[in-house]
Amino acid sequence: MSNYIDSLNWRYATKKFDPSKKIAKADLETLLEAVRLSASSYGLQPYQILVITDPEIREKLKPVSWGQSQITDASHLIVFANNTVVDENLMDGYIKNVSNTRGIPQEELQGYGDFMKSKLLDLTEEQRLSWTSRQVYLALGNLLSAAALLKIDTCPMEGFEAEKYNEILGLKEKGLNAAVVATIGYRSEEDTTQHYKKVRRSKEELFTHI
């Protein structure tokens, strides 16, 4: 556990990546598996993850990302896109997956499926978008922690124009919306922010034991 805490102290939001350093395929697969195994409400995972390496697409995304160099210089750009549609198909697909994975007849899972539908289908469109967008942050957190353990640098980013991302990546027609992005790779020696002390609230300020 001390290694985990040390890794969290090591990580920071990398401002300048070394474009010459690329993440090894095995390490990338580990990071993506950590994202895949993330918790989500009801286990539904109402999102898609885009792993972008195409330099032309990343050049198009850079101007609508406040011109931030991480978009093009990092080894990989990860876009977390939440579902804009939450319907019976999403829940029925999950129930089918549970049935196939655990060898349980679908009719035995109908009660759980109906429960999910009773909670989610009555939400307003705004509430559904809010709910699905929150789910991606659970996956983002797993990515950041797993990367830190592998000594791979990351920068979670909300500084971008979501509508432009949706347009460039063709997300809207797929029922998706760019919620948050993360750049992953290796820090440049020129990134002075790596030497800053980590600033967090003290345990006494942050935690309340009841």
Q: Can you give the residue ranges of every domain in the chain?
A: 13-85+126-189, 87-122
Give the pLDDT score at 1.
Answer: 62
183 pLDDT higher than 80? yes
Q: How confident is the model at residue 170 (pLDDT cuts 50, 70, 90)?
A: very high
The residue assigned the tokens 């697909």 is: 93
So what's the pLDDT on residue 111?
Answer: 97
Q: What's residue 2's pLDDT?
A: 73
Q: Give me the helices (H) in 170-210, please.
A: 203-206
CA distance 49 to 45: 10
pLDDT at res. 176: 98
Average pLDDT over residues 102-111: 97
Question: Selecting from 3.40.50.150, 3.40.50.720, 3.40.50.300, 3.40.109.10, what CATH number does the domain 13-85+126-189 have?
Answer: 3.40.109.10
- E strand segments, 63-146: 76-83
pLDDT of residue 72: 98
Cβ-contact 159, 62 below 8 angstroms = no
Q: Can you tell me the distance from the alpha carbon of 45 to that of 104, in angstroms, rounded to the nearest whole number?
A: 20
Note the pLDDT of residue 164: 98
Query: Mean pLDDT, the chain, as a whole number?
Result: 97
Mean pLDDT over 123-151 rounds to 97
pLDDT 10s digits, 40-57: 999 999 999 999 999 999
Backbone dihedral angles phi then psi of residue 21, each to the nearest 5 degrees: -105, 125
Angle at 181 between CA 175 and CA 184, to 5 degrees: 135
